[in-house]
Each structure stands twice: as structure tokens, then as C-alpha cells.
Amino acid sequence: MVAQVIDGKAFAAKVRAQVADQVAKLKEENGITPGLAVVLVGEDPASQVYVRSKGKMTVEVGMNSYEHKLDADTSEEDLLALIEKLNNDPAVNGILVQLPLPKHLNEDLVINSIDPAKDVDGFHISNVGLLGTGQKSMVPCTPLGCLMMLRDHHGSLSGMDAVVIGRSNIVGKPMAQLLLGDSCTVTIAHSRTKDLPDVVRRADIVVAAVGRPEMVPGDWIKEGATVIDVGINRIERDGKNKLVGDVDYASAAERAGAITPVPGGVGPMTIACLLANTLTAACRANGLPEPEGLTA
């Protein structure tokens, strides 16, 4: 079997176009322009690139983008004061604090100081609890993007066996909750899982979120399974820098029914879902119906 390629780049462009349409409607019919505030502390080069591209895409879909760049030695007090200001600013519907934060700042404290209704990353403990109990929440962007691609490919996921490799708060755990919410039978595998190949071989859906280059070989994949590769790993091959996923794409594509490539799979969906979440937050804040197909 040769797998169908799930084109995350094209899918993300479609999601952004949907967001842009709805934003235009919100402006015209309700006089509302959603706003996303991104807070960057320090000068981590990768974070700077992410923040720039988030700002650019926010503006492209017609929303307001507010960037707050703070020095690496900013005190916790000053950062919390800025978040409080953004929490109280009606022009700001979404607040994202770019992680990782410099070591002297308490990440949990900072994230949990964001108004949960504006927590477009979905990392606030209230949103984690709401998602875990099947209530309306803000859903973390990367797992939301994976869910959208799975729903688009399969329609219903009900009754499917899903294995999520990785148990991080950002990807693995919320991904498992979302799959459970769509009535999959879910296994969360991690670094201590016994006989990982055997666990993965049972899966109709494999979501790999580990951060180890090409650790899942094709012979772990059940014939016809859908493979969502969240991993982004920079490696050197044949003297060149290359991005690869957690799945060995070439061998997995020979067995899977469908697979996301790296790059061009899950990656582009993450920012698209951040924009979708900001739109959702703006609709909720104004008592308007949520955008269809853009929430969990």
C-alpha cells in the first residue's frame, strides 16, 4: 500500500481562509476585530521566528496583532503586570506567552495568570480541566490541528484504536483527550512503555509526539493505519541540514493508509489553529455563535 499524503500546508491554508472569511463577517456585521497579543521574553532565535510568523499571519487573516517583546531579565512581577493589563483589555481576545520562558520565571504561574477565556494556547489548568471533563474549553493548537486533519480524512473516528506516543502537556495528553472525546479507544505510550512496537502495531491511528528523529519505523505501522507525525527534528544528512519527523517517513508510507509529511504536515496547522482559537475566543467574548468546524 502507498499512503495518501495528508497535506497539512494546504489544509492550514484552507483553515486560515475560513478564519479570514469569518473575521471579515465579524467586522462587517458586528464591528468587531479580534485581537491576538503575543508576549516574547528574551531573544531565543527560534521563538523570535515563531512570534514573527504568528504576527504576520494574524494580520493576514484581518485580525489585530499586538507584540510585546520584553528583555530576558524581565522580572516575574513585570510580566504578570503585563498579562493582567492584557486580561483587562477588551481589544485583546487571545494572549499567548511564547515558551520556553527564561529560567528565572515560573512558567506554570505565568500561564495560569492568563484569563482562561483568552488562553488561546489552551495551557491554563482551567482549560486542561475543561477539556478533560468534555466541556467547552480552549484547546491546545497542535493537537487541535491533528484532530482536524483526522476528522477531515476519516469523517467519524468513533471506535478506532488510537495510540499517542508521548505524554507532554502540550501535545500528547491533550491529543489523547481529544481522541477520547471523538470516541476512539486511546493508548498513551511514553518512554517507559513496554514493547512499544507491539502497542503501535495495534493502532488504526498513530500520533507520534516524541522529539526523536525517525524513531518509528514502517514495520511498527499496521497496514492501512493513519499516521500523524508531530515531531520536528533537525538532523544532518549527506552534509545537509534536514527536518524530519518522529516517524521514518519512507518506510511508514509503504504501509500506512495516510500519513503527514515533515515538514508540511502538522507544523502549518499549529498557527492556523492559533488563529482559529483567537476567533473562537472573540466570538465567545461577544456572545456570538462559535465558528463552525474550527473548534474541537
- Contact residues toward ligand NAD (CB under 6 A) are 142, 165-168, 170-172, 189-191, 193, 196, 209-212, 230-233, 266-267, 270
Which of the 8 DSSP states describes residue 50?
Answer: H
User: Nearer Cβ to ligand NAD, position 159 or 197?
Assistant: 197
Give every strand in the sheet of 185-189, ordered side by side. Answer: 4-5, 258-259, 226-229, 205-208, 161-165, 185-189
User: Nearer Cβ to ligand NAD, position 218 or 286?
Assistant: 218
User: Nearer Cβ to ligand NAD, position 82 or 200?
Assistant: 200
Cell, residue 271: 498557527
Catalytic residue among 119, 121, 182, 248: 121
Strand intervals (E) in the chain: 4-5, 35-41, 64-70, 94-97, 161-165, 185-189, 205-208, 226-229, 233-237, 240-244, 258-259
Minimum distance, C-beta of residue 90 to ligand NAD, in the bound complex (Å): 30
Catalytic status, residue 25? no
Minimum distance, C-beta of residue 154 to ligand NAD, in the bound complex (Å): 20
Strand intervals (E) in 44-159: 64-70, 94-97
CA atoms of 247 and 62, how far apart (whole Å): 36
Residue with cell 479580534: 34
Minimum distance, C-beta of residue 43 to ligand NAD, in the bound complex (Å): 20
- Which single residue brings its beta carbon nearest to ligand NAD? 168
Catalytic residue among 18, 22, 98, 177: 98
Catalytic status, residue 177? no
CA atoms of 30 and 266, how far apart (whole Å): 33
Minimum distance, C-beta of residue 21 to ligand NAD, in the bound complex (Å): 24
User: Nearer Cβ to ligand NAD, position 80 or 99?
Assistant: 99
Point out which residues pair with 69 in neighbouring strands.
40
Rg from Cα positions in the chain: 19
176 Cβ contact list (under 8 Å, min separation 6): 162, 164, 186, 188
Residue with cell 515538514: 263
Catalytic status, residue 54? yes
Catalytic residue among 54, 118, 173, 222: 54
User: Nearer Cβ to ligand NAD, position 114 or 200?
Assistant: 200
Minimum distance, C-beta of residue 181 to ligand NAD, in the bound complex (Å): 19
List the catalytic residues. Answer: 54, 98, 121
